[in-house]
Structure 1
Amino acid sequence: MDAQVTLLDQLFDAGLLIDTGVDGLYGRSGLFEDVIARFDALITSFGGQDGAEVVRFPPGMNRAHFERSGYLKSFPQLAGTVHCFCGDDGAHSNLLQCLETGADWSADQQISDVVLTPAACYPLYPMAAKRGALPAQGRLFDLMSYCFRHEPSRDPARMQMFRMREYVRMGTQDEVIAFRKTWLERGRELIGRLDLPFEVDVANDPFFGRAGRMMANSQRDQGLKFELLVPVNSAVNPTACLSFNYHQDHFGSVWGLKTASGEVAHTACVGFGMERVALALFRHHGVDVETWPASVRAALWG
């Protein structure tokens, strides 16, 4: 049996994940949620002293902002939109008939002003830009949101809906590069406390199409993205559990973000895959948290 399916079945059998009948869409048990909460607190113990502004967005964002961000140009295969019924009584009768016969009922669905959030930071940039120029020291934000990416899979580490915790730095090039360097070091220490095997390597985003392959190569060549990889399903293809991204001035240019001196702001972020880290813990330490190493339990539960 495939290793990914075996792990997923173990998680189902232990009641840690709950099968919904859709690959990549799962319920979580109370124990799974407790591990997430403990890991969330561990992240804060590393980054909380930096004085980041805490912001929590819903799992949906403004469609106009989404379109302007450029995400749909680069990752159309991952995007999720929200469609709603906008018909009249006749359309409703047709809908009821379709439901009765098992026919396609989506004809009267229209796209709404909401899309599913693809990454926790995407709603942040227009919000920050509305405030005007950054203060002299730039800005630092602490975010977490449920996110959506349309890539159904039996790999439990590749969920369609998942949580992402992020710290986002806005400022000068030197400021955001220093921020990313700091978190590359912190990320290693943080995951080390959980006694998980890992490596950090240069990476690229899953840009779409032939032009996307060129963008991916450029991203790797410039070292704009690093990932902290932990074997979850396979040692051959480890899973990205933390991501360290330097966006250069992309979001600054898109949203008109300026530094205090009037230059286009640069941005960087560190992202934590909350479910992925929890899965890595259950994969390497077992489904019974009472048997986890004492050092790991101390790191999470104190």
Structure 2
Amino acid sequence: MSETPSLLRRLIDAGLFIDTGAPGLYGRSGAFEEVIDRIDAAFVRAAGDDVTEVVRFPPGMNRRVFETSGYLKSFPQLAGTVHAFCGAHSDHMDLLEHLAAGEDWMGKQEPTEVVLTPAACYPLYPVVAARGPLAETGGLFDLQSYCFRHEPSDDPARMQMFRMHEMVRLGDQDQVLAFRAQWLERGQALVTSLELPFSLDLANDPFFGRGGKLMAAGQRAQQLKFELLVPIHSEEHPTACFSFNYHQDHFGLTWDIKTAAGEVAHTACVGIGLERVAIALFNQHGLSSSAWPVGVRKALWG
């Protein structure tokens, strides 16, 4: 009896993914990208009449900003840095000799001032801080970026490089919590329109080290993070397709972001994993989007 092909194998065989030989790094077909575009547009429509400032950062960010953000204190295992050759002519010859012999050639690679962006919102906060105090209405930003997290996997929904679309709210505590509560409803409504099974649950980030369990427990106890989970790779371990995060005053303190009243700003973000939702749709409704249920196609194509 033949084994049922994995979801990853089916996506590749259908031409939706292109295998690059590296786990979690895939080429995407035009059919897959069309679905991504439709999901992205549906996410923006879910914002309704919200007045957002649209900002697009590259998938690399300033290393000093990254270091200041505190990411390495909590998630060093996920971080990716950009290195470059910094040797002389003789070092280049040495590199080529090692390369030709199939040996390690990275001896003269040194870290640059660029790291890979771990989440779309991380480059935003120092930019906002440099503008001065927020308006009385606070700030609301629409961000999208390719992001990197070093967690290679055969689960196609757990990529090393993927796109994240975020709405980020800055303001006082009441403004920020109202934003997150509103998006908890919007996210569920969007996924319902796509006819995907889901659950909403308290969550925690994958904190590293001995103190990680305590930090995760604290995050859950304060209800700082919710995830909208869709079964994709596993029914027992559904995949987070939306994340709803309240950062309290962490980024406000880190970057000295102030409200119009002179208080430390609070922040929250809602993020959608575009590839994850697309994969969930292909897994749930079939590998040809033209055959998807009428209601799903209407939600995406109108």
Q: Quote the RMSD (CA, aligned, Å).
A: 1.1
Cα distance in 2 for partners of 1:48, 1:149 equals 31
Who is 1:298 aligned against? 298
Which whole-Å CA distance do the structure 2 matches of 1:288 and 1:120 have between them? Answer: 30
Q: Is residue 206 of structure 1 aligned with residue 226 of structure 2? A: no
Gaps of 5+ in 1: none
Shift of 1:212: 1.2
- Cα distance, 1:56 vs structure 2: 0.4
Instruction: Flag structure 2 segments of 5+ consecutive residues without an equivalent.
Output: none
Amino acid at match of 1:13: D
* 1:276 Cα deviation after fit: 0.1
CA shift for structure 1 position 223: 0.4
Q: After the TM superposition, which residues 256-275 of structure 1 pair with which residues of structure 2 at under 5 Å, given as runs?
A: 256-275=256-275
> What is the distance in 2 between the residues matched to 1:96 and 1:301?
51
Q: Find the aligned partners of 2:28 and 2:214 in 1 and give their Cα distance.
A: 38
Query: Per-residue CA shift, 1:131-189, capped at 9, x if unaligned?
Result: 01101110000000000000000000100000000000000000000000000000110
Partner SS state of residue 210, structure 2: helix
1:201-255 CA-to-partner distances (Å, cap 9, x unmatched) read 0000000011111101100111000000000011110000000000000000000
Alpha-carbon distance in 2 for matches of 1:274, 1:235: 20
TM-score by length of 2: 0.98
1:146 matched to which residue of 2?
146
Letter in 2 for 1:247: H
**Aligned residue in 2 for 1:121:** 121
**Which portions of structure 1, spanning 4 or more consecutive aligned residues, are displaced by more than 6 angstroms?**
none
Q: TM-score, normalised by structure 1?
A: 0.98
Counterpart-to-counterpart distance in 2, 1:224 and 1:2: 41
Q: Distance in 2 between matches of 1:233 and 1:204?
A: 20
Question: Equivalents in 1 of 2:58, 2:101: separation in Å?
Answer: 35
CA drift at 1:48: 4.8
Match of residue 55 from structure 1:
55
Identity of aligned residues (%): 65
* 1:63 positional shift: 0.2
Map 1:206-285 → 2, pairs under 5 A = 206-285=206-285
Deviations 1:117-143 (A, max 9, x none): 000000000111110110111000000
Cα 1:298–1:253 shift into 2, 3 Å: same
Report the secondary structure of 2:137's partner residue.
Answer: coil
- Secondary structure (helix, strand or coil) at the match of 1:169 reads strand
